[in-house]
Chains A and B, each alone.
Chain A
Amino acid sequence: MNINCIKDSIEKASLHHLMKAINDFKKDDSSGLEEAKVHVLRNHTIDNIKPFLKGLGILSQLNIDTVIGDYDAFMQEILDDNSALYASKPDVVVLSLVLENFISSSSNEFGYRNIVDRIDQIIKAISTRSSSLILCNTFLMPLYNHIGAASFKDGNSYESIIAKVNLWLREQVLESSNIYLVDFNQIEQRIGSDNVRDRRMWYVARSLFKNAFIKEYATEIVNIIKVLKGKVKKCLVLDCDNTLWGGVLGEEGIDGIKLDKYEYPGNIYYSFQQDILKLMDSGTILALSSKNNEADVFEVLDNHKYCLIKRKYLSACRINWGNKPENILSIAKELSLGVDSFVFVDDSPLECEMVKQMIPDVAVIQVPEDLSKYSTALLKDGLFASLAKSSEDKNRTNMYVTETKRKQVQKQFDNLDDFLSSLELVAEVSKASDSQIQRVAQLTQKTNQFNLTTKRYSEVDIKSFVDNKDYDVLYLNLKDKFGEYGSRSFYNQIR
């Protein structure tokens, strides 16, 4: 009940309702939540981000403790080795800067070089003292050019400088593993400029952003913390009729269903399938759960001209007349994945509600009634967020499909020992070098059940172990006659 109050008040960006809902929630038992810490360094009033981080955290089983640094005093905090910033070892340091208060735009100092040098100093000063992830933001482009068309002709115009600084920030993120970025301009596009700035509160209290904006900002931060804490979605379970295509296959047949590259509404389902392929490409594994005849569905997957999802991409299929929660549980068992890493997409409100009720840990997306909203439904909650794309992500689908073949062989053996020896397993233990750092960090972030210490490490942490002579970072690669399992475990040993 309280959870729904939190959800509603965040949805509406209603601060006083949110504060009440969080206060009510605290009275309940919140001990099941995982702790996380955020430290905000800022040059503007952004204190309202605290309840939004708290509320969004609770919705994701996280208890996020936020410290807001003193107003425009971030330099003192950063340069003081004994400051609370370093003592509390936050998971994420949010460097929240607005240009309006950074370097006066009327002064001679206001220029591309000065701005990026200042930000560079700040980032380096934090990085040398802390292994926390640093989250910067881009700067908002004004809604109108100060000097009209001439703005583009002048490399030092206010708008040109912002564009160049924003590009520079993106480059920093590409180059360093501990820096991340929230694009304020992207948030503005998402929610509309009327919901971004509160000019009145800026002049009264140096509070630039409306709560609708702060909500989105907090969502981006929480999405990153979720990945750091191993709360990531790995498997997408899809319904077929009115989800992968329009219409009911059993009634309309392969030529009657709506799935088309060009024609409305088939093109909506086509682009939905395109989005799914992109997710698969970055490591999400796919499964079907549909009330249909299996042969009919496979006919579409194999032979429909515009069906992008092919049978070989699927790691598990439950095409039957059974109930969906049971199907999902059985897919989870087959793939050895926790249901909390599952996302379920279906058009039926009844099926969606059943899954929500019976397996609350599964994230449920109902196909929106307004189909034009379908393309964003999958991505808007940041369920498939990741911190870096490793080459192994691409192979993961392959690994799960191979796993399905292994399971089929397993069925042919009477006992597990015979089966295991038939696999011809080979394990290789090697010392991790720089090229494995990303994967090793990911292992600590994504492994729950067999994470013996439950410590999560960032890439910066792992790199510091690799570089330290006192530590050996070992990882294990496993393969059998069907294929590689990939890097499956890692071990950090003090010499």
Chain B
Amino acid sequence: MSVELNIQNKLKEIFQNLFFVNPEDVNDKTSPEDIEQWDSLQHLNLVLSIEEEFGLSITPEESNEMLNFGLAAMLIDEKLK
């Protein structure tokens, strides 16, 4: 299993927990446009949950770049390298 798939699955689980979405409905392009619960407040919780699950810290600038699922996964992948 590639590292990236691991990250994707873990991140999908966070999406499922926070936004109550089906992980199968989430793809790289999934953005706040598609998920009603993904508002600015839950975006903060997304950042905190990623930090908790992956053991890393995200700056406000990086947080602003997490515009969709794919970009968030890429950021995590970068930071874990």
Tell me if A19 and B18 are in contact (CB < 8 A): yes
Interface residue? A23 (CB, 8 A): yes
Interface residue? A291 (CB, 8 A): no
* A205 in contact with B17 given A48-B45, A200-B60 (CB within 8 Å): no
Task: Give every chain A residue within 8 A of B20 (Cβ-Cβ).
Answer: 23
Most central of B18, B20, B41, B48 by chain A CB within 10 Å: B48
Tell me if A14 and B52 are in contact (CB < 8 A): yes
Nearest residue, chain A, Cβ from B50: A16
Tell me if B49 and A47 are in contact (CB < 8 A): no
Q: CA A14 – CA B50 in complex, angstroms?
A: 11
Interface residue? A406 (CB, 8 A): no
Nearest residue, chain A, Cβ from B46: A16
Tell me if B41 and A17 are in contact (CB < 8 A): no
* A19 in contact with B17 given A14-B52, A200-B60, A203-B60 (CB within 8 Å): yes
Nearest residue, chain A, Cβ from B44: A205
We find that the number of chain A residues with CB closer than 8 angstroms to chain B is 17
Contact code string A1-27 (vs B, CB < 8 Å = 1, else 0): 000000000000011110110010000
Contact code string A32-49 (vs B, CB < 8 Å = 1, else 0): 000000000000010110
* A15 in contact with B45 given A20-B16, A23-B20 (CB within 8 Å): yes
Tell me if B60 and A16 are in contact (CB < 8 A): no
Nearest residue, chain B, Cβ from A51: B45
Tell me if A204 and B52 are in contact (CB < 8 A): no
Tell me if A204 and B49 are in contact (CB < 8 A): no
Task: Give every chain A residue within 8 A of B63 (Cβ-Cβ).
Answer: 204
Task: Give every chain A residue within 8 A of B40 (Cβ-Cβ).
Answer: 205
Tell me if B17 and A204 are in contact (CB < 8 A): no
* A16 in contact with B41 given A200-B60, A203-B60 (CB within 8 Å): no
Contact code string A48-67 (vs B, CB < 8 Å = 1, else 0): 10000000000000000000
Q: CA A207 – CA B48 in complex, angstroms?
A: 12
Size class of the contact patch on chain B:
10 to 19
Tell me if B44 and A16 are in contact (CB < 8 A): no
Q: How far is the CB of A103 from the nearest CB of chain B, in Å?
A: 25
Q: CA A17 – CA B18 in complex, angstroms?
A: 8
Which residues of chain B from 32 to 81 have any CB-CB distance to chain A below 8 Å in the complex?
40-41, 44-45, 48-49, 52, 59-60, 63
Task: Give every chain A residue within 8 A of B26 (Cβ-Cβ).
Answer: none
Contact code string A182-205 (vs B, CB < 8 Å = 1, else 0): 000000000000000000110111
Tell me if B17 and A47 are in contact (CB < 8 A): no
Q: CA A13 – CA B49 in complex, angstroms?
A: 11
Task: Give every chain B residue within 8 A of A47 (Cβ-Cβ).
Answer: 41
Interface residue? A211 (CB, 8 A): yes
Q: CA A48 – CA B47 in complex, angstroms?
A: 14
Tell me if B41 and A205 are in contact (CB < 8 A): yes
Interface residue? B7 (CB, 8 A): no
Tell me if B44 and A204 are in contact (CB < 8 A): yes
* A204 in contact with B60 given A16-B18, A20-B16 (CB within 8 Å): yes
Q: CA A20 – CA B49 in complex, angstroms?
A: 13
Q: How far is the CB of B53 from the nearest CB of chain A, in Å?
A: 8
Q: How far is the CB of A285 from the nearest CB of chain B, in Å?
A: 43
Tell me if A207 and B17 are in contact (CB < 8 A): no
Q: How far is the CB of A87 from the nearest CB of chain B, in Å?
A: 24
Q: CA A173 – CA B52 in complex, angstroms?
A: 38
Q: CA A14 – CA B20 in complex, angstroms?
A: 16
Q: CA A17 – CA B14 in complex, angstroms?
A: 8
Q: How far is the CB of A67 from the nearest CB of chain B, in Å?
A: 15
Tell me if B48 and A211 are in contact (CB < 8 A): yes
Q: How far is the CB of B50 from the nearest CB of chain A, in Å?
A: 9
Known pairs A16-B17, A201-B48. 5 more at Cβ < 8 A?
Answer: A15-B45, A16-B45, A19-B18, A47-B41, A204-B63
Q: List 8 A-B contacts (CB under 8 A).
A: A14-B52, A15-B45, A16-B18, A19-B17, A19-B18, A201-B48, A204-B63, A211-B48
